[in-house]
Amino acid sequence: MKQRYTHIAIALHWIMAIVVLTTWSIALIAHDMPVSPERILAISWHKWLGLTVLWLVFVRLFWRATHPAPELAVRLPAWQEHIMQLTHLAFYLLMIAIPILGWLMSSAKGYTVNYFGLFELPDLVLKDKATGRLLKQIHEVLANLLISLVALHVLAALKHHFWDKDGLLKRMSFFK
């Protein structure tokens, strides 16, 4: 019985964790910055990394579809397994929705979205400041929800590792 994720799945997991947390952190920092070239650069990095999350989530979904998750080596209570499944579903939905909402928001605010200056993405909606403000609020609420789920995920992993000592964390680790 396979009990560990593939090295590719593990790498995608940790890369995405770093990119998601970095993207969210940049948004927090940029929010309080005065209008300046530094703020524009920070927002550009936020957008570039957000689009990277969107691209990586599709890579990850493809990998997951072709390489199923390993079976759990431990028996979890049904409620914990249900929460785990819902949390993972929410992760995927949010990692798709948040970047798309950011792209929509930028379009509505009249800002072109590009990817690391390599190419421009088309505007998804017409310029409309009211729509831009609404999309910004939704984008921020969902981003904070994602980070809350990340915190819950980390706490659950630590609980399994240190409290339950069931080896569950080792499934997503490069180390045996």
CATH code for the domain defined by 7-172: 1.20.950
152 three-class SS: helix
Give the whole-angstrom CA distance, residue 144 versus residue 124.
Answer: 23
pLDDT (tens digit, 0 to 9) for every residue of the chain, 176 residues total? 567 889 999 999 999 999 999 999 999 999 999 999 999 999 999 999 999 999 999 999 999 999 998 887 778 889 988 998 999 999 999 999 999 999 999 999 999 999 999 999 999 999 999 999 999 999 999 999 999 999 999 998 898 888 987 777 778 888 76
The CB-side HSE value for 86 (13 A sphere, CA atoms) comes to 8
Gyration radius from the chain CA atoms: 18
